[in-house]
Amino acid sequence: MNSADLGRRVGVPSTALFTDQYELTMVQAALKAGTADRRSVFEAFTRRLPEGRRYGVVAGIGRVLDAVENFHFDDEMLTFLREQNVVDGPTLAWLADYRFSGDIWGYPEGEVYFPGSPILRVEGSFAECVLLETVILSILNHDSAIAAAASRMSAAAGGRGLIEMGARRTHELSAVASARAAYIGGFNTTSDLAAGFRYNIPTVGTSAHAFTLLHDTERDAFRAQVDSLGRGTTLLVDTYDVAEAVRTAVEVAGTGLGAVRIDSGDLLLVAHRVRQQLDELGATETKIVVTSDLDEYAIASLAAAPVDAYGVGTQLVTGSGQPTCSMVYKLVARAGSADPAEPLRPVAKKSLGAKSSVGGRKWAARRLDENGVAEAEVVGTGAVPPELADRQLLVELVRGGEVIAREPLDAARERHIAARAGLPMSAVQLSRGEPVIPTEHV
């Protein structure tokens, strides 16, 4: 594997303050009580899928690994914490030396998950593990939500191209993470150059309506673009009159025109008319790209249209109505000391509402039916049944504080395609429904 496949290791500031204050005050109290070094196991999971969704998609694992590596407190941060009286002197001294030294296991990126799936398991001392809660949840909740929306759109697209183009609809850093998650979920390209630079995602883009409006005529604009970018470019044809624009586009670029883009109107009707016109003009290989506030439902409605690619922005980077996965990070087991020989004791929150959790250090496996299709997510705390030994889902990500499982983004993308294909066919239905397979606790 070429190291370039992993993307560029762009320098980032410390992630240590991407946290909530109570993480640090818990550490202070635990240090004073002598319990901070108790061996502990935390797990990230979700109690339920977003309403109506049939499966979740794990995304953000690679970013979590980066965040853990970069979680350290520099002098300026420590000064801030001291001046704001966030924690006391002994805690500041402990934070100054902080580096995560534990182990992390998790579902590999691109895998699917269900309610109760132990998506990430973090093991180490209580203090070093609890500090990572907020940044881990921030990444996993965001990225997995975007990847799930992307997966639904990818399934609806049925193999047609998908362009991520939501950078202008979200925070500039979220845009980069969204493009990464969308690529895992099945998108082919992004318009965001920062995402292309950071993660080696293919980038695309040609022109907006402003470029047409800049010129005296649409013909002038098309000629300028073709002269600059070549006949294989994509011309935007809905600034004025679509039929006239298509005719002009083929006259300027010839029948070898790469594509036309439609960004407004009744996309189903307009796409059919444009395809007919292109064919009549001899531009039979010219593709049609549609944009304009698409989501998975709009994409599915265009299945019968002669569309070659979809560009999606707002609905993608907001999770298509489900911007978070509601993942939580809970202590599920702990020992009475730091001694590795001391047994772990299951612990769990008890609640009258829907916030209870299951204690114990967990494993997970996916049971298949006689046709090789997933039929249950099996989660347990004891010995793994022999028949599930080769179906376990968690992989080792960090050992003794060292990241050991970085992989190219394409690996996560390919894993998701395989994981989704292994679910019952109803998984890709867009109608609301329950999780496509049940979670069984053993």
Average pLDDT over residues 348-357: 76
Average pLDDT over residues 105-133: 98
77 sits in the region (left: phi over 0; alpha: psi -120 to 50; else beta) called alpha
Quickly state the pLDDT bin for 356 (edges 50, 70, 90). confident
Quickly state the pLDDT bin for 351 (edges 50, 70, 90). confident
Measured CA to CA in angstroms, residue 153 lies from 157, 162, 201, 418 at distances of 6, 8, 18, 16
Q: How many CA atoms lie within 13 A of 192 on its CB side?
A: 30
CATH code for the part of the protein at 172-319: 3.20.20.70
**pLDDT digits 0-9 by tens, 373-430:** 999 999 999 899 999 999 999 999 999 999 999 999 999 999 999 999 999 999 999 9
Whether the per-residue pLDDT at 2 is higher than 70: the answer is: no
- Angle at CA of residue 307, ends 278 and 425, nearest 5°: 155
Rounded to two decimals, the pTM is 0.94
Quickly state the pLDDT bin for 116 (edges 50, 70, 90). very high
Which pLDDT value is given to residue 355?
72
Quickly state the pLDDT bin for 8 (edges 50, 70, 90). low
Quickly state the pLDDT bin for 4 (edges 50, 70, 90). low
Amino acid found at 36: A
Whether the per-residue pLDDT at 11 is higher than 80: the answer is: no
Which pLDDT value is given to residue 357?
81
Average pLDDT over residues 138-164: 98
Average pLDDT over residues 201-214: 97
Q: Which of 199, 149, 140, 198 is nearest to 169 (CA)?
A: 149
CATH match for 3-131+326-441 among 3.40.50.620, 2.60.200.20, 3.20.140.10, 3.40.50.720: 3.20.140.10
Quickly state the pLDDT bin for 349 (edges 50, 70, 90). confident
Percent of the chain having pLDDT more than 70?
Answer: 97
Other Cβ atoms less than 10 A from the Cβ of 239: the count is 17
**pLDDT digits 0-9 by tens, 300-319:** 999 999 999 999 999 999 99
Whether the per-residue pLDDT at 286 is higher than 90: the answer is: yes
**pLDDT digits 0-9 by tens, 314-343:** 999 999 999 999 999 999 999 999 999 999
Whether the per-residue pLDDT at 82 is higher than 90: the answer is: yes
Average pLDDT value over all residues in the chain:
95
Hey, where are the domains in the chain?
3-131+326-441, 172-319
Phi, psi of 363, deg, nearest 5: -115, 165
